[in-house]
Amino acid sequence: MARHAKTDSDVTSLAPSSPPRSPRRPAYYVLSPAASHPDVVVASGGAGGGGGGVAAAEKMSFAGSTPAESPLHYHYHHSGAAMHHSRESSTGRLLFSDQLRSGAAAGVPWRRLAQGSGAGSVGDDDDDEGGLAGAASQWRCYALGAFAFVAVFAFFLLVLWGASKSYKPHVVVKSVVFETYHIQGGTDRTGVPTKMMSVNATVRLRFRNRGTFFSLHVTSTPFHLFYDDLTVATGHMAEFYQPRRSGRVVTVSVVGKQVPLYGAGAELHSKPNNGRLGPAVVPVRMAFVLRARAHILGLLVRSKFYRRVLCRLDVREASLGKPVHGVAADCEYHDGR
């Protein structure tokens, strides 16, 4: 029987088959949820009938990995790609769940990532801006409250000061008594001959604090007794403290001894020197300023009162030792320094 020539198909069919595939090795997956966690290597896969599976290794990073970093291998393009893809997806989910549990158990810190491209940063900026705006608004409220408190307190102090001005102290000269009066010739310190006057008077005045909510510290300028424009006697009042809604009588001695008169006293005389002219009547003026200071609210609110007193009197030699009549009518009172 003649042999037929072998065709290409026969040669192909009779040619030894391709070398057997190597047994499938398990696939390894490396998961990197964060840069600070170590890679976790997990084996998955199984032996198939008659041989093993196709080995495929893939490194998967669940935090920030890209498809280029974890390329898919050729077995996805195989005829059984659908089955392997499903198996690998389920295996990946299981591995990720296991890694989450292991990371939580190991106390590995996790970082909260922004959701969406740029959304987290915008939200944080909005929160920061909202917090700053809230803090600024709170500080504005505090500043406004402090300003309102200061304004109300200042208005209260102004009201107190204005109310105190309506309670001016009451001052009146009650009596003036000239005790002595004497004119004699003499010389001054430089040896110039002139007439000399000596006079002594007692002044009593009544002071009353009419304030209902403050006390007064009272002082006075010197009491001056003038003949013409020449001071012939002076006196000083002691400082005192006057409580609210109270009063007192103050006594001041005004004394002048051997005061040179020079040309001003050419027509003056007294009994011992010239009894023929009769008792002398000498017109004089007495002036002083009474000062009262009220501390209404410590050093914050202080009120001052000035009372000027001017009295035109006559020194009557025949009435020495007796109160001068008509003092109330002869004295003038003015406010101010």
pLDDT above 50 (res 50): no
Nearest alpha carbon to residue 234 among 187, 271, 284, 192: 284
Give every CB contact of residue 253 below 8 A, 6+ residues apart in sequence.
200, 201, 202, 203, 235
pLDDT, mean over the chain: 73
Least confident of 162-176, 261-275, 317-331: 261-275
Q: Predicted confidence band at 130 (pLDDT cuts at 50, 70, 90)?
A: low
Query: What pLDDT shows up at residue 273?
Result: 55
Query: What pLDDT shows up at residue 296?
Result: 85
Q: Predicted confidence band at 116 (pLDDT cuts at 50, 70, 90)?
A: very low
Report the percentage of the chain scoring pLDDT > 70. 60
Burial of residue 155 (number of CB atoms within 10 Å: 0-12, 13-18, 19+):
exposed
Higher-scoring residue by pLDDT: 243, 185: 243
Query: What pLDDT shows up at residue 269?
Result: 82
Question: Beta strands 57-60 and 170-187: pairing type?
Answer: unpaired
Q: Predicted confidence band at 323 (pLDDT cuts at 50, 70, 90)?
A: very high
Query: What pLDDT shows up at residue 101?
Result: 55
Query: What pLDDT shows up at residue 51?
Result: 42
Query: What pLDDT shows up at residue 192?
Result: 87
Query: What pLDDT shows up at residue 70?
Result: 44
Q: Which of 70-79, 118-127, 237-246 has the highest mean pLDDT?
A: 237-246
Q: Predicted confidence band at 222 (pLDDT cuts at 50, 70, 90)?
A: very high
pTM above 0.75? no
pLDDT above 90 (res 6): no
Q: What mean pLDDT do residues 46-75 have? A: 41
Query: What pLDDT shows up at residue 127?
Result: 58
Measure the CA–CA gap between 262 and 256, rounded to whole angstroms: 15
Query: What pLDDT shows up at residue 271?
Result: 76
Least confident of 49-53, 114-118, 306-310: 49-53
Least confident of 44-48, 85-89, 111-115, 135-139: 44-48
pLDDT above 70 (res 228): yes
Query: What pLDDT shows up at residue 191?
Result: 85
Q: What mean pLDDT do residues 273-292 have? A: 84
> Domain extents for the chain?
23-106, 137-166, 169-335
pLDDT above 50 (res 149): yes
Q: Predicted confidence band at 274 (pLDDT cuts at 50, 70, 90)?
A: low
